């Protein structure tokens, strides 16, 4: 399968991870929209949000996203957690964007 995030998960493409375990990897977005812009990604190929069948995966992704918010010191600096789907996504492999700092105005 020609999936960039699968290739990164399989180590076919070298990537420095900020966090990694058996199921999830985190690395900076190649086109950061904010000073902190991380991608929290399941290693298993799940095409998109609407196709997640395992609620434990949701739990895991969000716990790790929360850890990243804390790790980056964004708790009181403004942050956004985003999942694009339904064709709005560029990469067809589920991923959670963690972005910040940002202001209330920018979040509108
Ligand atoms: P989305 O629109 O939600 O599918 O965003 C996909 C993001 O993935 C986009 O912000 C750019 C990022 N991205 C795509 N390919 C790579 C890559 O090879 N390395 C990294 N670090 N980020 C990538």
What's the CA gap between 40 and 76, in Å, rounded?
20
pLDDT tens for residues 28-41? 999 999 999 999 99
Catalytic site includes residue 95: yes
Has this prediction a pTM greater than 0.85? yes
What's the CA gap between 18 and 69, in Å, rounded?
13
What's the CA gap between 98 and 108, in Å, rounded?
16
pLDDT tens for residues 48-92? 999 999 999 999 999 999 999 999 999 999 999 999 999 999 999
Query: In this structure, are residues 33 and 99 in contact, taking their beta carbons and an 8 Å threshold?
Result: yes
Q: Which residues line ligand 1 (CB under 6 A)?
A: 4, 27-31, 39, 84, 89-91
Rounded distance from Cα 91 to ligand 1 centre (Å): 6
């Amino acid at each position: 399968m020609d999936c960039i995030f699968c290739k990164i998960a399989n180590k076919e493409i070298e990537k420095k991870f900020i966090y990694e375990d058996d199921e999830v990897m985190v690395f900076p977005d190649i086109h950061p929209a904010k000073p902190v812009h991380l991608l929290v990604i399941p290693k298993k190929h799940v095409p998109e949000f609407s196709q997640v069948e395992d609620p434990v995966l949701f739990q895991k992704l969000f716990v790790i996203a929360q850890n990243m918010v804390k790790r980056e010191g964004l708790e009181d600096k403004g942050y956004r957690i985003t999942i694009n789907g339904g064709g709005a996504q560029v990469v067809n492999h589920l991923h959670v964007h963690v972005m910040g700092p940002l202001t209330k105005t920018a979040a509108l």
